[in-house]
Amino acid sequence: MSDTHSEQLLSEVAALPGLPGVYRYFDAQGQLLYVGKARNLKKRVSSYFQKSHDGTRIGHMISRIVRMETTVVRSEAEALLLENNLIKTLNPKFNILFRDDKSYPYLKITGTRETFRTSAKMPVPSLAFPRMAYYRGVVDRRHSYYGPYPSAWAVKESITLLQKVFRLRTCEDTVFANRTRPCLLYQIKRCSGPCVDLVDSEDYARDVQDAERFLRGETQAVLDALEQRMLGHAEKLEFEQAAELRNQMTALSRVLHQQTMDNLSDKDVDVLAVKVHGGRACVNLAMVRGGRHLGDRPYFPAHVDDATAIDNALSDEGPAPGMDPAERVAVQVLEAFIAQHYLGIAMPQILVTSHAVGRPLLDALSEQTGNKVNAVHNPREHRRIWLEMAQKNADIALARLLAEEGSQQARTRALADALQLPDDQLEALRIECFDISHTAGESTQASCVVFEGHKMQNSQYRRYKIEGITGGDDYAAMKQVLLRRYGKIAEAMRSEDTQAPNLAVSESAQALNGEALEPVAEPTAESITGPRMPDLVLIDGGKGQVSVAREVFQQLGLDLSIIVGVEKGEGRKVGLEELVFADGREKVYLGHDSAALMLVAQIRDEAHRFAITGMRAQRAKVRTGGSKLEDIPGVGPKKRARLLQRFGGVRGVASASVDDLCTVEGISAELADAIYRALH
């Protein structure tokens, strides 16, 4: 294997120190192939190049290595943390990779931090009466945050629960400041009505404190405090107030009985169960916060086969070699998830896991968080119930994923068969679909959605704002979007073609002069600027739209055979669609129960959804004057934010008088007049 690598690379390997660290492998194009950690860099990296790995996944990866980078660290714990930080940020091709673009949601209670409340000289009413809200994003030191929660549904369910028991407000500050009578939530006993002074600030603050204690898991202390307050009112013969507290205690007790998974001895716990089957893996994460089971979320890693094959081939530092192969993969997946998931986020001190986790990983996490992290394997009592539920949910989620992937792959193959496309590389089959959307010619937008790797690639979706055409002219809109999408690609392909003859002439001259020929790399998709040409271009329309697409492709010199139109059937009924081709082929009717038609309909419907949501957003922006406020000279982000906060939105700003606008900080009389004239 070492014969295929440069002397420089092998000398770098030989010169590595016997210290802990992280190594990174790159291919000829500079793509990151693999990130690994080692207790002994020299021993670990040398094993890649000294052993024979021909015909295996690790052999395929090693054959592509042309460059290596290493980083020496102080301990194996540091190496593990750095390794997974690089994996999470750089997305190497052969590592187990968990992708999670979304931040976790939190339940926020505004303005409750003691340092903030005591430093505020004149608390505004909204600060005196804190608000509960769903929140996702960067935390602010002025507010209290509880969670994270596994889903938005879990946050909203908790807010509903707290409304029933503690009756805290959820309205925006602008709404709160302008209420003249209580809202519906007060009528149905979900809010105590602080907006119209139906509760004083001290009683409301006590409810906020009780709600926060409940979220921290101090439920018994909350019940005891409510009971003492109820008895105190009863002794003073204040029976109405005592009855209110009795009802509050009843509601809280009912909630606790409904939460059958609660256990007051465990405040914050994460339960992790892993399932591996059919070449795919699922890690199910269940969250317990404040003693309450908040729900769970499944995660599906990429590159499991490649990464585990590499680890198993170099198992001197991996799991015990005698372990069952499936169990070994499960442990590797679980440890990869723990190492990547908890980077940079708060984590509980107790993990309940379906498989034993290595001590070095727990030590690294303890070092990162500053608190000792423990993992419990083979738990008892309530923890066993939690783990069994998580394992069952992992089984269900993985079975659903495998069924969906199998169905999607079958649909892709059926479409390839129906259109006589090559079926040897269906994973790489790329389909782009276009749709036009507008309302009576207003706010015309085109959408382009992408299907590749047997699934929709929503990160590659694009919207195009169509301008300079007659309103409602779908043909002109389609022509414009196709020219904008494929014009640069066609130009790049032509430049590649013109370079090829020059290369041939140069090679002939070198050969005649007896010179050695330098190997010339073939053009690749990466060498072409911009996105590559798809294997299929779907047009949501019949002969007319396809004719426009044919005209554009002829103008650009592109292959007409990849254009396919989706024509509505008789009566525009679903299942009667026909495929129309730009290269002169006869129409094709796939059949209402065809798997190929199901895939075509899925892609077309997604293009329509993506186009119409963009069009509606653009139309709303135009009609409410959202862009006008941004375009007014002298109104920057801060002044715009103050205006929107004061008047509750663009419509409120538009309805305000010049005198009203002048009351906003930073808005002079001249600027107020300019704003008024711009919005009228």
Question: Between 467 and 499, whose confidence is greater?
Answer: 467
Task: Output the CA–CA distances (angstroms, integers) from residue 601 to 229, 447, 540, 610, in the order listed.
Answer: 62, 16, 10, 14
User: Within the chain, how many helices (H) and strands (E) appear?
Assistant: 24, 19
Q: In this model, does residue 477 exceed pLDDT 50?
A: yes
Please list, in sequence order, all residues whose beta carbon lies within 8 angstroms of the beta carbon of residue 242, skipping any fewer than 6 positions away.
Answer: 230, 231, 233, 234
Alpha-carbon dihedral sign for residues 358, 359, 364, 365: positive
Decide: residue 287, CB within 10 A, 0-12 exposed, 13-18 middle, 19+ buried.
Answer: buried
The pLDDT of 38-64, averaged and rounded, is 82
Q: Say what the pLDDT of residue 347 is.
A: 82
Q: Give the tens place of pLDDT for each residue, 523-573.
A: 333 333 356 789 999 998 888 889 999 999 999 989 898 999 988 876 666
Q: Say what the pLDDT of residue 531 is.
A: 62
Q: Say what the pLDDT of residue 271 is.
A: 93
Q: Say what the pLDDT of residue 513 is.
A: 40
Listed as own residue / partner, the contacts of 239-244 with beta carbons closer than 8 Å and 24 or more positions apart are none
- Coil, helix or strand at residue 134: strand
Q: In this model, does residue 47 exceed pLDDT 90?
A: no
Q: Say what the pLDDT of residue 101 is.
A: 56
**Quick check: 369 and 83 in contact, CB under 8 A?**
no
Supply 209's token pair. Answer: 């404190």
Q: Write out the H or E segment, with its range, that includes residue 38.
A: strand 32-38
Q: In this model, does residue 82 exceed pLDDT 50?
A: yes
Q: Say what the pLDDT of residue 436 is.
A: 87
Strands 132-135 and 455-456: unpaired
Q: Which range, 68-77, 302-311, 590-599, 639-648, is most confident?
A: 68-77
Q: Say what the pLDDT of residue 503 is.
A: 47
Q: How confident is the model at residue 644 (pLDDT cuts 50, 70, 90)?
A: confident
> Where is average pLDDT lowest: 201-215, 384-398, 460-474, 523-537?
523-537
Q: Say what the pLDDT of residue 663 is.
A: 85
Q: Say what the pLDDT of residue 254 is.
A: 62
Q: Give the tens place of pLDDT for each residue, 349-390.
A: 899 999 998 888 888 888 888 888 889 988 888 888 889 999
Q: Give the tens place of pLDDT for each residue, 415-453.
A: 888 888 877 778 889 999 998 887 666 668 888 999 998
Residues 25 and 37: their CA atoms lie apart, in Å, by: 12
Q: Say what the pLDDT of residue 621 is.
A: 56
The pLDDT of 610-619, averaged and rounded, is 75
Question: Between 162 and 337, whose confidence is greater?
Answer: 337
**Quick check: 491 and 485 in contact, CB under 8 A?**
no
Please list, in sequence order, all residues whose beta carbon lies within 8 angstroms of the beta carbon of residue 161, skipping any fewer than 6 positions away.
Answer: 255
Please list, in sequence order, all residues whose beta carbon lies within 8 angstroms of the beta carbon of residue 409, skipping any fewer than 6 positions away.
Answer: 426, 454
Mean of all residue pLDDT scores within the chain: 80
The pLDDT of 296-308, averaged and rounded, is 85
Cα dihedral 242, 243, 244, 250, rounded to 10, equals: 110
Closest CA to 449 of 253, 275, 212, 610: 610
pLDDT over 70, % of the chain: 83
Q: Given phi > 0 = left and psi -120 to 50 = alpha, else beta, which region is 45?
A: alpha
191: how many CB neighbours lie within 10 A of its CB?
A: 22
**Tokens 């005891």 belong to residue:** 224
Strands 462-465 and 442-452: antiparallel
Length of the chain: 680
Q: Say what the pLDDT of residue 319 is.
A: 47
Q: Say what the pLDDT of residue 441 is.
A: 64
Strands 536-539 and 430-439: parallel
Q: Say what the pLDDT of residue 619 is.
A: 59
Find out whether the peptide bond into 148 is cis, omega within 30 degrees of 0: yes
Supply 531's token pair. Answer: 């996105």
Q: Say what the pLDDT of residue 510 is.
A: 44
Closest CA to 60 of 421, 303, 403: 303
